[in-house]
Chain A
Amino acid sequence: MKERLQSLKEEALNQIPNIESEKALQDLRVKYLGKKGQITEVLKGMGKLSPEERPVIGQLANDVRDVITTAIEEKASELDQIALQKQLEKEAIDITLPGRPVQLGGPHLLMKVIRDIEDLFISMGYTVAEGPEVETDYYNFEALNLPKGHPARDMQDSFYITEDLLMRTHTSPVQARTMLEHEGKGPVKIICPGKVYRRDNDDATHSHQFTQIEGLYIDENVRMSDLKGTLNVLAKHLFGEDRDIRLRPSFFPFTEPSVEMDISCKVCNGEGCSVCKQSGWIEILGAGMVHPNVLEMAGFDSKKYTGFAFGMGPERIAMLKYGIEDIRHFYTNDIRFLKQFHRA
């Protein structure tokens, strides 16, 4: 019997490694370990054994059973692994196929520029002021030291609706309105973005509607050097720390002294190229110290208060920054244009 059990064990252990399916393994289990299996069959002859031999053979039978069971379990686990492996292989996908897209929209480039400037000045303690796009002649011109018949009114030929009402030609009337709201008490620190309108035929460099963003700072003892410092912060924020600025005298009726600010040309680094018309400098904005007439008209004592104002065109800034060649792109709303500026 002993030999029989030993040979069953060897027979089973020899067969197990060759088994390839769950089913065959199950059949083998039944064949050797089942209730009617071969080991049970052998043990049926236990009765013929001497009492001394019985426990020995019993023990042996149990050992053989355990060995075979273990081998079967190991094999089962191996087969599971193989099956899983096969399944995983079958489930493999082409990870290079495109994912389900998330439709993300985005801001208009001009709004992006405006927000950027708003946020910079908010960080310096400014608030954002807004005002009407249809204005009275008074706020658009007179309150800004541009009386009727003033030659500088030509600089901004306007769309009038009636003799007294017009599409604002700049965002400066918001400054006049905000100053009045302050009832002669400073400080006034505002940034005013918005749409403006001028009598121009739309072409690559002109648009009858465009945007502006202006800043105003009124307080006691505001100096021209403060304007210069503030504009320097702005220029570096917009165009990079490595840009230099220069101020040049200019003329605006609502400021005196008036300046224009240039930044050193990024293309040629100030050497002179076609972008900067060989000058090494690119004009960015107009600014100046608020004219005493403007202060007085808005109820501020010009002996006590001084201030500075500056204004720029987001279109120009965007065109310079991105090399956009045609101002009409901002108003055609071509999706291929709009989507280019949705990056974070």
Chain B
Amino acid sequence: MNLSVNWLKQYIDLTDITTAELAEMITKSGVEVEQIHPKILDDDKIVVGYVKTCEQHPNADKLSLCQVDVGDEVLQIVCGAPNVKEGQYVVVAKPGAKLPGNFKIKKTKLRGEASEGMICSLDELGFDEKYIHDDYKDGIFYFQEEVSIGEPACPLLNLNDEIIELDVTANRSDCLSYYGLAYEVAAIFNKEINLPNPEVFINHGHSKDYISVKIEDEEANPYYSAWVIKDVHIKPSPLWLQNRLISAGIRPINNVVDITNYILLEYGQPLHAFDYDRLGSKKIVTRPAKKGETIKTLDGVERKLAEDHLVITNGENAHAIAGVMGGEESEVRDDTTTIILEAAYFNPRTVRKTSKDHGLRSESSARFEKGIDMLRVKEAATRAAQLLSELANGKVLGEIVEAGETKWNPNAVTFTHNEINQKIGTTISVNEMKSIIERLRFDYEEKDGQFTVMPPSRRQDIEIKEDMEEEIARLYGYDHIPFTLPEGEFNRGGLNKNQQLVRKIHHYLQSAGLNETISYSLTTAEKSVAFVSPDVKQLNPKPVKLSMPMSDLHSHLRLSAIPEMLQSVQHNVARNQHNVSIYELGSVYINQEEEMSSLPKEQLRLSAAMTGLVLEHPWQGENKQVDFYTIKGILEGLLNYLEIDIELEQGELDGLHPGRTALIKLNDEAVGFIGQIHPNVQKDYDLNDTYIFDLNLEKVLNHYEQNDTYRKIPKYPAIQQDLAFVVDTKIKAKELEKAILKQGQPYLQSVHVFDIYEGEHMEDGKKSIAFHLLFQDENKTLTDDEVEKARANIVNYLEETYEAVLRG
């Protein structure tokens, strides 16, 4: 909503208040000011001039030589506009005037003739082109109504106005009209208000002979009135009215349309004028639209209506979508003589639904859908009728034809002075509260600090005590509320166990060199089912699709973060960022219902992706490429950190390299996977070798047990032994490790692979695998015999079970 300061002055004396103060107080008291549009032009040297004579310039075909009376003198002005004529009242910028764009007017000579100023076009005066009437588009502006010679021209064209652009919240529909804003500003500054008191002469025949009104759905349309106005003369509106509309950003059209728009702004009451002769019947019936019914609206669009849209009909066809937009058929045109002026109250919900369905938010629907002042429908219509008779020579017919009624039965809001102070944290006196309510012009009673307030019809948002708390607090001033902290009992805050654990997991992963990412939860249909971990897959999830996605890129909820993360990897690689190590901790959304009726299960998962170099230290020749074991090391490190035993089991998964993929198992149950992206998929995503894992973090967290125990440092020395075996290449290291650990008991503490060799000097299908073994006894120094016995056990077992050959 644009608030014109000049217009507001019509209702309130603002002489001692600057526009900046006005805007600041409006913002601080309740309605946010988006911005202030400054004056376009306010210069006394720009005045009304009378073109006494206008002759051809002796030396130039296209120029005229004018003698212009500007009151105190007559100026000779050379003018290039084709439409300048003798007898016109024009806008003259006298020498010394400054036009927009810092254009200074000076006395000059043009083709040998003195020119003492400029006759201005609207464009030169800074008028927005979209508001310039065709008559003035290619030339100078001239007044078509009575003005005084020498009078300052800027106020006449409202160029000296300041516009405060307001962002009105959904509850303050009263501030969508000057009427409501006048009350608001008067309350803020404690000022008097001068509101129009419309009167119109109604005695030009019986309107019932012209029209009848019938409401079929009283809930959607509680009240409808039709005013018949005869003999209207369609013509441009007077300048003052055009100025008002332009200040609101509405283009003037003709006097009838402009008057309805003016009332919409002044009273917040949307009106509609039908051309009576084009209505095609003598009745108006408001009813729900029929299925399949259509209407061509004023904007020329053929619109399909639904049964929950309300239409204004002539008993047969729709002539307007109630509260949203009129129809083209009965639009007021230049030859219109009799109009039906509609002043009605439509249900906010009906209008809201209709305007939403049509994607059509008009000035009218914006007001109806928030609720208009239902007690002022008639007053607003009277004001419109008055203007129609004054500005369009209209004759208003007697006995307004109406149906239904407008009711305003607000609940009294009661509260005590103490309650308000307690809730806000203030010490406002009873008298101060009374004065605030008086400034708001609410009817109220007060006895011993007990208040009863009757909200006025313009303030439908005042329903409960809390609403009055806000009214009192905002006019008292939020700035005056003290800073305090809650005085409740102390209680311990903090993170719960899982939250603490999750934070530790973040720290671990970040220390391990991974960068946290946040990807979109909504992805494509295809990606939503890609890289789904077996533990999710076995739940047989059904797709979760948005009913109306904005784009196919974000239409389905993910079952894995991996596809969107690969998108991120690809984004980086494509920008020459080849080393990418990322992780993400977030939900996947598992729905198991064919017809979804309950919330999906949101499961917390940890996903990671790595590509490029894990170590880059070129001058020492240390460039280490990420491989399976890099990412596996990070995963193992995490699970060691959490002291949770997992097993990796060779596996195959769609989208992954079949020889480099493993399932992550916790107590024999799959909880995720790890592996390299399949070369074909890498190609699809434009990726280099990329390794990923995806882990059901919820399961992992459930298995976590805090274990902060201490083990003494052993006093007795450990004995180290290395053993190397030649075995079949298919035999997995982990299997041998487990066997060795078992056979080496009770003294074998740990076993680690330290070398793997295949290839030259090795039989085909065989590999050499070497282990470090560490023997130790907590209670004594081990003897060579004890160690030798354990070693022999191990060697024998591996020879028998795996046909392993001990290397010498």
Are A228 and B470 interface neighbours, CB within 8 A? no
A186 contacts which chain B residues (CB < 8 A)? Answer: 488
The 8 A CB mask of A189-233 against B (1 = contact, 0 = none) is 100000101011100000011010000010111111110111011
Are B29 and A208 interface neighbours, CB within 8 A? no
Interface of A is mostly: mixed
Q: Assuming A97-B619, A249-B29, is B491 touching A226 (CB within 8 A)?
A: no
CA distance A201 to B611 in the complex (A): 31
A149 contacts which chain B residues (CB < 8 A)? Answer: 349, 352-353
Are A189 and B518 interface neighbours, CB within 8 A? no
A209 contacts which chain B residues (CB < 8 A)? Answer: 520-522, 554
Are B616 and A161 interface neighbours, CB within 8 A? no
Are B580 and A335 interface neighbours, CB within 8 A? yes
A229 contacts which chain B residues (CB < 8 A)? Answer: 482-485
B32: CB under 8 A from chain A?
Answer: yes
A151: CB under 8 A from chain B?
Answer: yes
A155: CB under 8 A from chain B?
Answer: yes
- Closest Cβ of chain A: how far from B385's Cβ, in Å? 31
A312: CB under 8 A from chain B?
Answer: no
Are B549 and A159 interface neighbours, CB within 8 A? yes
Q: Which of B450-493 contact A (CB under 8 A)?
A: 464, 466-467, 469-470, 473-474, 478-479, 481-493
CA distance A278 to B37 in the complex (A): 12
Q: Which of B488-506 contact A (CB under 8 A)?
A: 488-496, 499, 503, 506
Q: Assuming A122-B493, A165-B599, is B348 touching A151 (CB within 8 A)?
A: yes
B597: CB under 8 A from chain A?
Answer: yes
Are B521 and A189 interface neighbours, CB within 8 A? no
A55: CB under 8 A from chain B?
Answer: no
- Closest Cβ of chain B: how far from A281's Cβ, in Å? 9
Q: Assuming A159-B546, A208-B522, A338-B517, is B622 touching A100 (CB within 8 A)?
A: yes
Are A134 and B547 interface neighbours, CB within 8 A? no
The 8 A CB mask of A125-165 against B (1 = contact, 0 = none) is 11110001111100000000000010110110001111011
CA distance A294 to B581 in the complex (A): 45
A47: CB under 8 A from chain B?
Answer: no
Partner of A256, one of B470, B490, B546, B554: B470
Partner of B516, one of A108, A161, A336: A108
Partner of A333, one of B481, B489, B557, B582: B582
Number of interface residues of A (CB under 8 A): 92
Are A187 and B491 interface neighbours, CB within 8 A? yes
Most buried by A among B27, B370, B575: B27
B-binding segment of A25-33, A66-74, A257-265: A257-265
Q: Assuming A125-B490, A125-B491, A223-B423, is B546 touching A257 (CB within 8 A)?
A: no
Partner of B481, one of A155, A197, A221, A225: A225
Partner of A289, one of B466, B478, B544, B586: B466
Q: Which of B617-667 contact A (CB under 8 A)?
A: 617, 619-620, 622
B714: CB under 8 A from chain A?
Answer: no
Are A221 and B474 interface neighbours, CB within 8 A? no
B349 contacts which chain A residues (CB < 8 A)? Answer: 149
Closest to B472 in A: A257
A103: CB under 8 A from chain B?
Answer: yes
CA distance A135 to B598 in the complex (A): 9
B739: CB under 8 A from chain A?
Answer: no
Partner of B171, one of A118, A123, A217, A251: A251
The 8 A CB mask of A249-292 against B (1 = contact, 0 = none) is 11100001111100000000000000001110000000001011
B467 contacts which chain A residues (CB < 8 A)? Answer: 256
B423 contacts which chain A residues (CB < 8 A)? Answer: 223-224, 289, 306
A278 contacts which chain B residues (CB < 8 A)? Answer: 35-36
Are A105 and B510 interface neighbours, CB within 8 A? yes
CA distance A101 to B488 in the complex (A): 51
Partner of A219, one of B32, B485, B488: B488
A243: CB under 8 A from chain B?
Answer: no
A104: CB under 8 A from chain B?
Answer: yes
A257 contacts which chain B residues (CB < 8 A)? Answer: 466, 469-470, 473-474
B291: CB under 8 A from chain A?
Answer: no
Are A151 and B489 interface neighbours, CB within 8 A? no
CA distance A185 to B474 in the complex (A): 30
B615: CB under 8 A from chain A?
Answer: yes
A310: CB under 8 A from chain B?
Answer: no
Q: Assuming A229-B484, A257-B470, A335-B572, is B479 touching A161 (CB within 8 A)?
A: no
Are A219 and B30 interface neighbours, CB within 8 A? no
What are 29 A-B interface contacts by the 8 Å CB criterion? A101-B617, A103-B513, A104-B513, A107-B516, A108-B515, A111-B506, A125-B492, A127-B494, A128-B495, A151-B348, A151-B370, A160-B548, A189-B491, A197-B521, A199-B548, A208-B522, A220-B488, A223-B486, A225-B481, A225-B482, A228-B478, A229-B482, A230-B485, A259-B478, A279-B27, A279-B33, A331-B518, A333-B571, A335-B580
New contact pairs (17) apart from A97-B619, A105-B581, A121-B493, CB-CB < 8 Å: A100-B617, A100-B620, A101-B615, A104-B511, A105-B510, A127-B494, A128-B499, A136-B599, A195-B518, A197-B521, A199-B550, A200-B550, A221-B422, A222-B488, A249-B28, A259-B478, A335-B579
Residues of A within 8 A of B (CB): 97-98, 100-101, 103-108, 110-111, 115, 118, 121-128, 132-136, 149, 151-152, 154-155, 159-162, 164-165, 167, 186-187, 189, 195, 197, 199-201, 208-209, 211, 217, 219-226, 228-230, 232-233, 246-251, 256-260, 277-279, 289, 291-292, 306, 330-336, 338-339, 342
